[in-house]
């Protein structure tokens, strides 16, 4: 199934953006912060599932969550936020939750090894919780930034080692990080795909055929080992619809 997601949606009232999304998509990956905090919208999500036959995934908060925080109270606050998101997702029947690795805010390369270790500890806590609920956690690959970890597949796999956590493959992030090819070979627990394009220099979130990524080749490679959802990460709903139509054509071509 093809879905839509954008952090820019999260500044709009839930009902307002939902009214527009349901006209074009049956799957929405909610970025669960600001106006779309799950704790404030649980009943709205239930109503959308019942009234519009909508399906949902969740993207954990981007701005205010850091599972690799080195101040223990901050890491625990992020963990508690994630545990709450997992509980709500379980109650409303959402199965897939994507999360970013920790962030090395302010200190960059000097603290990245410690941030990786803190992230591993957090993920192990989430893994224990995940085993008790009907939810799946997907750790997303990141673009190269001063603060980011988890750029390549080996690093992601090292953080989820000995857990049942899977991977969310983000095409745009991989293109900027020059790690695209490794993600297209398979051989890892892929449970979510974020699809968008850029020109390989920074994370532009363009329509899927508007950058340097050959999305047709990406789709052909993924279909060999992945049969799950494709989440279009768009700057606007209109651009998301444009990408949806192009992606639908690519997927149908492969099925013919």
Q: How many domains does the chain have?
A: 1
Domain that residue 11 falls in:
2-255
Query: What element of type H or E holds 255?
Result: helix 237-255
Residue 168, classed as helix, strand or coil, is: strand
Distance CA 25, CA 146 (A): 35
Task: Give residue-wise pLDDT tens across range 82-118.
Answer: 999 999 999 999 999 999 999 998 888 899 999 999 9
| Range 164-175 average pLDDT | 98
Mean pLDDT of all residues belonging to the chain: 96
Specify the CATH number for the domain of residue 206: 3.20.20.150
- % residues pLDDT > 90 (the chain): 95
Q: Is the dihedral of CA 237, 241, 246, 247 positive or negative?
A: positive
The dihedral through the CA atoms of 20, 199, 180, 116 has a sign that is: negative
Predicted confidence (pLDDT) at residue 59 exceeds the cutoff of 90: yes
Over the stretch 117-157, which tens digit does the pLDDT of each residue have? 999 999 999 999 999 998 999 999 999 999 999 999 999 99
Contact 157, 168 (CB under 8 A): no
């Amino acid at each position: 199934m093809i879905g839509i997601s954008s952090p820019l949606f999260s500044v709009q009232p839930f009902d307002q953006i939902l009214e527009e999304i349901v006209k074009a998509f049956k799957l929405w990956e909610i970025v669960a912060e600001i106006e779309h905090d799950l704790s404030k919208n649980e009943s709205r999500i239930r109503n959308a599932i019942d009234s519009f036959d909508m399906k949902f995934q969740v993207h954990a908060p981007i701005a205010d969550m850091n599972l690799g925080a080195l101040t223990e109270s901050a890491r625990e606050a992020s963990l508690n936020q994630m545990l709450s998101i997992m509980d709500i997702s379980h109650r409303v029947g959402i199965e897939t939750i994507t999360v970013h690795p920790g962030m090395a805010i302010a200190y960059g390369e000097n603290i990245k090894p410690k941030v990786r270790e803190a992230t591993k500890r957090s993920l192990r806590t989430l893994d224990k919780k995940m085993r008790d609920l009907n939810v799946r956690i997907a750790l997303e690959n990141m673009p190269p930034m001063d603060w980011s970890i988890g750029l390549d597949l080996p690093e992601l796999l090292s953080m989820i080692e000995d857990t049942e956590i899977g991977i969310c493959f983000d095409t745009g992030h991989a293109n900027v990080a020059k790690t695209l090819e490794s993600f297209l070979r398979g051989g890892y627990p892929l449970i979510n795909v974020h699809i968008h394009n850029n020109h390989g220099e920074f994370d532009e979130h363009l329509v899927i055929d508007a950058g340097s990524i050959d999305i047709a080749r990406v789709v052909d490679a993924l279909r060999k080992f992945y049969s799950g959802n494709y989440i279009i990460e768009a700057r606007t709903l209109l651009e998301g619809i444009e990408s949806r139509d192009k992606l639908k054509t690519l997927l149908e071509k492969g099925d013919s």
